[in-house]
Amino acid sequence: MSRPSRVRVIGPLKPHATGFRRELLSQGYTAHSASYQLQLMAHASRWLESRGHDIGDFIPTRVEEFLDARQAEGYTLWLSTKAMAPLLGYLRDLGLVPAPSPVDPATPAEALLERYRCYLIQERGLSPSTIASYSHVAKLFLFNRSPEGELDLERLNAAAITAFVLGECRARRVGSAKYIVCGLRALLRFLYAEGHAESQLADAVPSVAGWRLAGLPKALSRRDVSALLASCDRRTTFGRRDFAVLTLLVRLGLRAGEVAALALVDIDWRAGEVVIHGKGRRKERLPLPIDVGKALVGWLRRGRPRCESLKVFTRVRAPHRGLTSGGVSAVVRSAADRAGLSEVHAHRLRHTAATEMLRAGASLSDVGQVLRHASTLTTSLYAKVDRQTLRTLAQPWPGGEA
C-alpha cells in the first residue's frame, strides 16, 4: 500500500488522520513513507480503542505498552519510540497528547547539573553550543569526584582541581585542554555563587601551556580541494547540496555554524552579497563570488526540497529541517572520505580559504576582513604561510651564501 489516502484509521485517532497525512507530505515524506506512518497510526488507534483509552491517555508509559503489544503480535518494523516520534509530535503540537514529564534528577550531582544549566541559560545568556560544552565539562568534573553521583564538594581544594586538570588534559591537544579549563573555571564560579564552595577556586585552575601563534595553519592543497569538490555528484540532490556547502566553506572561509545559520533572506542576489551570522551574534555582509552563487543556485533550484524551513541548507530526507553545524561538519567528513582524504574538518577549510587569499596577493588585513576576525592578532597567524614575503624579512644565516 503506497497511497496514504488508502490507509483506513478507526478509533480515537481517526479525526486526525487527514491532518497527519498532510503534515507528513508537507515535511517531504514520500507517499510510501507516509503510508507506513499512517499504518502505525491506525494500529495505535485500534490498540487505544481496544483498551478503552482516549487520545489524552497516550502517555509515554502507554506508548511503551503499545510497542510491546505490537512486537508481541509479530510486527517486525516500527517498534521503537523513535518510529513514533512523527505521530506523537503531531499530536503534541495539537495539544492532544501531553509532553513527556521532565525526569527528576536521580542523584544530587544531576540536580546540581540541572541548576547549573539553568544558570548558564538565564544568568549568563550563553549560546546553546557553549552551554552544552560547559555542561559536559561540569559532568566530567563532578562524576570524576564521585562516580555514584553524590556531591563531594566539602574537600574541594586547589590540589583536587589541579589533579583533575592534569588527569583529564594529559592526553588532549592544546585546544581541547583549554576547553576543559575554561569550562571548569565557569563551574567553580557557579559553585562559589551557590555557596557550595567556601572560597573562589576558579583562580586555582592551572593554565594550559599553549602559546598564541605557535602552530601553523593546516590548509589543504589545491589538488585536495579539487578532489573534495569533485567527490560531490552534482547529478544528485545530495551532491548539489554538499557541493554548495563545501564551496561556501572553501571560498568564504565560513565556520560550520555560520553555514548552518544561513537563511534564504540572507542572500541579496541583486547586490551580490550575503549576510553572515557570526560569533557574538554579529551580522556582517560579504561579497558573493560568482562560483559560490552558481553552487547555491544549483542547490536551491534543482535540489532543495520544498519545505517550511527558512534555512538555505536542509536535510534531503524527510523531515526537511535545517542542517545543524554538526550536519555541516558531517558533509565535510563524508566528502573527505569519498575523496580519500583524512583528518579534514570544516575549520580546516577556513584555513584553506585564508591561505588561498594570501597566495592570490591579498593582505593580512583583507584576510581578516573576510574571516571577520575581531583582532588583527588572530589574523597574524596566517603570516606564517606567506613564505614569499617572509623570505624578504629573513636574515642571512651566519657563514652561509650571500
What integer pLDDT is reported at residue 211 of this predicted model? Answer: 60
Q: Which residues pair with 267 in a beta bridge?
A: 274
What integer pLDDT is reported at residue 152 of this predicted model? Answer: 75
Rounded distance, CA 67 to CA 44, Å? 9
- The separation between CA 40 and the C-alpha centre of its own chain, rounded to angstroms, equals 30
235 is catalytic: no
Please check whether residue 229 is in contact with residue 185, taking contact to mean a CB–CB distance below 8 angstroms.
no
What integer pLDDT is reported at residue 304 of this predicted model? Answer: 93
Query: For the chain, which residues make up each domain, given as ranges?
Result: 4-93, 108-204, 222-390
What integer pLDDT is reported at residue 287 of this predicted model? Answer: 92
384 is catalytic: no
Active-site hit among 172, 279, 302, 387: 279
Q: Cell triple for residue 182? A: 575554561
What integer pLDDT is reported at residue 297 of this predicted model? Answer: 96
What integer pLDDT is reported at residue 109 of this predicted model? Answer: 85
302 is catalytic: no
Answer whether CATH 1.10.150.130 is correct for domain 108-204: yes
Please check whether residue 385 is in contact with residue 219, taking contact to mean a CB–CB distance below 8 angstroms.
yes
Rounded distance, CA 123 to CA 128, Å? 14
Helices 325-339 & 222-230 angle (0-180, nearest 10):
100
What integer pLDDT is reported at residue 354 of this predicted model? Answer: 85
3 is catalytic: no
373 is catalytic: yes
Active-site hit among 240, 311, 350, 351: 350
Rounded distance, CA 129 to CA 377, Å? 25
As its CATH architecture, domain 222-390 has Orthogonal Bundle (1.10)
Amino acid at residue number 234: R
Active-site hit among 315, 348, 351, 373: 373
Active-site hit among 255, 311, 320, 351: 255
Active-site hit among 53, 145, 196, 347: 347
The CA angle 43-48-51, to the nearest 5 degrees, is: 125
Q: How many CB atoms lie within 10 A of CB 366?
A: 15
Side-chain-side CA neighbours of 115 within 13 Å: the count stands at 12
Grouped pLDDT means (10 residues each) for the chain, 402 residues: 77 94 87 90 94 89 91 89 91 86 74 90 83 91 82 83 89 85 93 84 84 66 93 95 96 92 95 88 89 96 90 91 91 94 87 84 80 74 60 64 54
350 is catalytic: yes
Provide the strand spans (E) within 193-320. 267-268, 273-277, 283-287
The residues, ordered by sequence, that sit 6+ positions from 363 with a Cβ below 8 Å of its Cβ are none
